[in-house]
């Protein structure tokens, strides 16, 4: 299998003539198609709602597209809450799934009516102190510990994860919250990341639905929703089979009908907090080859760097690369594709088989639509790129400008003598 770019070399050159590389490009048609597919997959559940994980792609213009499909926002910080509020997502449209939370952020979330998801039992007291009283509706995050397995495959290691409450704690938390007057409850868990298997959500649903039945029975809590959170992955590698969201929806429904319905809980809403699955494949980092170097290895130097896409440097993550205009050429060269950071791990690809590359070629780095731009940073004084939306009708639009030196130095603006000098340097 090969991975196809969602656009052509001609279109990219047209965009690059107006907005210099590097830039992250997003595919409106793809985002819409996928959002509709998710909605259809869970249409069987009356209260279903996707809360898009804002941290994955915090661009208001992209999230507004998802809002047309009924999506809300999953936030983890005050600035993400601010972004959501500014695009009209407040109240039931916001899930605040944070951890190690500062008290003032609980306050901000409560003031906008967001659903607060408690990561820890100690936050009950913090919340009560901060708000004066508890909201009538609260969610608790669960961590069953140990390893998370699908049949015999270990998917992830919740026992080593900092998130969520233990089984004992979540029962205790529900009792305390109920005694303090909380009326509506939700439960949440995120137990494995980037799962490329249709089994993840159904297996997770099994864990959470069983827990919900027990929590209801033992504490009498009125459980209104179960949040399956994120973790549905995408095929970064060309040999991976993509998840089938319709199949995943059917898998969750089967567990729902088997577990919740017989327990008299057939009105519980299913929530999701997908980030990667909603945006990942519908973004690409477009970068131009500016140098080649032949030493102990063959290096291709591009005008983007790990500051624009950190995943390869940080996790050794694979991102497929297409050399635009050479889609059908044989991959008979082996390159390291590098950025310019003074960091040897600033490589988008290591020992990658690619067609012969020339200076000036445009590289299309796939699947950067989630956890791409958003993980950017300014090391080596590198500036964040622009973000461009490729619209359904083929037009394109800048949805965030590139940073300039002025942005980089902005936090010195309280020292006018330096600030004015450096900007004029
Ligand atoms: C990061 C995150 C998500 C989204 O994860 P994806 O892997 O992008 O789907 C959802 N919920 C919480 C609480 C998160 O931290």
Cα(98) to ligand 1 centroid in Å equals 10
Q: Cβ distance 278 to 234 under 8 Å? A: no
Q: Burial level of 263, CB count in 10 A (0-12/13-18/19+)?
A: middle
Cα(252) to ligand 1 centroid in Å equals 19
Listed residue (174, 72, 48) closest to 118, CA to CA = 174
Question: Quick one: which atom of ligand 1 is closest to the CA of 117?
Answer: 13
CATH of 281-412, one of 1.10.10.10, 2.60.290.11, 2.40.37.10, 1.10.1510.10: 2.40.37.10
Instruction: Tell me which of 109, 196, 273, 274 to substitute to probe ligand 1's pocket, judged by most ligand atoms within 8 Å of the beta carbon.
Output: 273
Report the pLDDT value the prediction gives residue 210, as an integer from 0 to 100: 98
| Helix 60-67 with 28-41: angle, nearest 10 deg | 40
pLDDT tens for each residue of 148-197: 999 888 889 999 999 999 999 999 999 999 999 999 999 999 999 999 99
Cα(55) to ligand 1 centroid in Å equals 8
Q: What's the Cα-to-Cα distance from 317 to each of 104, 133, 268, 338, 406, rounded to whole Å?
A: 35, 44, 37, 14, 32
Q: What's the Cα-to-Cα distance from 290 to each of 170, 258, 285, 300, 322, rounded to whole Å?
A: 54, 58, 15, 8, 16
Report the pLDDT value the prediction gives residue 137, as an integer from 0 to 100: 98
Cα(21) to ligand 1 centroid in Å equals 29
Give the integer Cα–Cα distance in Å for 346 and 340: 7
Query: Which residues, listed in sequence order, are joined to residue 194 by a DSSP beta bridge?
Result: none
Give the integer Cα–Cα distance in Å for 109 and 283: 29
Report the pLDDT value the prediction gives residue 6, as an integer from 0 to 100: 98
Query: Which residues, listed in sequence order, are joined to residue 184 by a DSSP beta bridge?
Result: 137
Query: Which residues, listed in sequence order, are joined to residue 292 by a DSSP beta bridge?
Result: 300
pLDDT tens for each residue of 217-230: 999 999 999 999 99
**Domain boundaries for CATH 3.20.20.10 within the chain:** 28-280
| Helix 78-86 with 60-67: angle, nearest 10 deg | 60
Q: What's the Cα-to-Cα distance from 155 to each of 163, 249, 255, rounded to whole Å?
A: 16, 20, 20
Cα(296) to ligand 1 centroid in Å equals 40
**Domain boundaries for CATH 2.40.37.10 within the chain:** 281-412
Report the pLDDT value the prediction gives residue 1, as an integer from 0 to 100: 61
Pocket of ligand 1 (CB under 6 A): 53, 55-56, 74, 76, 97, 190, 193-194, 229-231, 273-277, 370
The enclosing H or E element of 178 equals helix 167-179
Q: Cβ distance 36 to 69 under 8 Å? A: yes
Cα(80) to ligand 1 centroid in Å equals 13
Q: What's the Cα-to-Cα distance from 108 to each of 58, 102, 140, rounded to whole Å?
A: 18, 10, 18
Give the number of other CB atoms < 10 A from CB of residue 248.
25
Give the integer Cα–Cα distance in Å for 26 and 28: 6
Q: Cβ distance 195 to 232 under 8 Å? A: yes
Handedness of CA 303, 319, 309, 36 (dihedral sign): positive
Cα(371) to ligand 1 centroid in Å equals 10
Does the domain at 28-280 match CATH 3.20.20.10? Answer given as yes
Question: Quick one: which atom of ligand 1 is closest to the CA of 194?
Answer: 7
Distance of CA 112 to the CA centre of its chain: 22
Give the number of other CB atoms < 10 A from CB of residue 130.
16
Q: Burial level of 58, CB count in 10 A (0-12/13-18/19+)?
A: buried
Radius of gyration in angstroms for the set of CA atoms belonging to the chain, rounded to a whole number: 23
pLDDT tens for each residue of 249-298: 999 999 999 999 999 999 999 999 999 999 999 999 999 999 999 999 99
Listed residue (340, 284, 350) closest to 317, CA to CA = 350
| Secondary structure class of 90 (helix, strand, coil) | coil
Ligand 1, atom 5: nearest CA belongs to which residue? 230
- Return the half-sphere exposure (C-beta side, CA atoms, 13 A cut-off) of residue 163: 17
Walk along the chain (425 residues) in steps of 10 and give the mean pLDDT of each run.
92 98 98 98 98 98 98 98 98 97 97 98 97 97 95 90 97 98 98 96 98 98 98 97 98 98 98 98 98 98 98 96 97 98 97 98 98 97 98 98 98 97 95
Report the pLDDT value the prediction gives residue 2, as an integer from 0 to 100: 82
Instruction: Tell me which of 187, 229, 367, 371 to substitute to probe ligand 1's pocket, judged by most ligand atoms within 8 Å of the beta carbon.
Output: 229
Listed residue (192, 183, 232, 187) closest to 208, CA to CA = 187
Q: Cβ distance 188 to 97 under 8 Å? A: yes
Question: Quick one: which atom of ligand 1 is closest to the CA of 141?
Answer: 13
In degrees and rounded to multiples of 5, residue 399 shows phi and psi of: -115, 0
Listed residue (423, 397, 400, 399) closest to 410, CA to CA = 423
Query: Which residues, listed in sequence order, are joined to residue 347 by a DSSP beta bridge?
Result: 338
| Secondary structure class of 224 (helix, strand, coil) | strand
Listed residue (254, 288, 218) closest to 42, CA to CA = 254
The enclosing H or E element of 407 equals helix 405-408
Ligand 1, atom 10: nearest CA belongs to which residue? 230
Model pTM above 0.75: yes
């Amino acid at each position: 299998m090969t991975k196809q770019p969602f656009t052509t070399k001609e279109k990219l050159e047209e965009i690059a003539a107006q907005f210099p590389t590097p830039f992250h490009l997003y595919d409106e048609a793809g985002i819409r198609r996928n959002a509709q597919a998710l909605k259809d997959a869970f249409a069987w559940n009356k209260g279903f709602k996707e809360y898009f994980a804002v941290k994955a792609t915090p661009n208001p213009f992209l999230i507004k597209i998802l809002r047309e499909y009924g999506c809300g926002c999953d936030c983890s910080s005050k600035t993400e809450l601010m972004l959501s509020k500014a695009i009209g997502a407040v109240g039931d449209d916001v899930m605040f799934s944070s951890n190690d939370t500062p008290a003032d952020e609980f306050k901000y979330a409560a003031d906008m009516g967001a659903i607060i998801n408690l990561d820890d039992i100690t936050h009950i007291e913090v919340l009560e102190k901060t708000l004066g009283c508890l909201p009538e509706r609260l969610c608790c995050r669960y961590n069953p510990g140990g390893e998370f397995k699908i049949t015999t495959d270990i998917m992830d290691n919740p026992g080593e994860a900092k998130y969520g409450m233990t089984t004992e704690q979540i029962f205790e938390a529900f009792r305390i919250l109920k005694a303090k007057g909380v009326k509506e409850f939700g439960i949440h868990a995120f137990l494995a990341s980037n799962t490329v298997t249709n089994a993840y959500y159904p297996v997770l649903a099994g864990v959470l639905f069983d827990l919900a039945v027990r929590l209801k029975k033992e504490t009498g809590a009125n459980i209104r929703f179960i949040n399956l959170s994120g973790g549905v992955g995408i095929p970064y590698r060309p040999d991976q089979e993509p998840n089938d969201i319709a199949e995943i929806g059917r898998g969750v429904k089967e567990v729902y009908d088997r577990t919740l319905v017989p327990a008299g809980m057939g009105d519980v809403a299913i929530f999701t907090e997908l980030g990667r699955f909603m945006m990942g494949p519908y973004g690409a980092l477009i970068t131009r080859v500016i140098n080649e170097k032949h030493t102990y290895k063959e290096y291709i130097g591009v005008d983007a760097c790990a500051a624009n896409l950190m995943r390869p440097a940080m996790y050794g993550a694979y991102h497929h690369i297409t050399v635009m205009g050479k889609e059908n050429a044989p991959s008979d060269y082996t390159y390291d594709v590098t950025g310019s950071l003074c960091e040897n791990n600033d490589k988008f690809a290591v020992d990658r088989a690619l067609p012969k590359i020339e200076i000036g070629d445009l590289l299309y780095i796939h699947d950067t639509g989630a956890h791409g731009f958003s993980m950017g940073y300014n090391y080596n004084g590198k500036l964040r790129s622009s973000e461009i939306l490729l619209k359904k009708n083929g037009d394109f639009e800048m949805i965030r400008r590139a940073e300039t030196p002025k942005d980089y130095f902005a936090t010195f603006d309280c020292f006018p003598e330096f600030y004015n000098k450096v900007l004029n340097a």
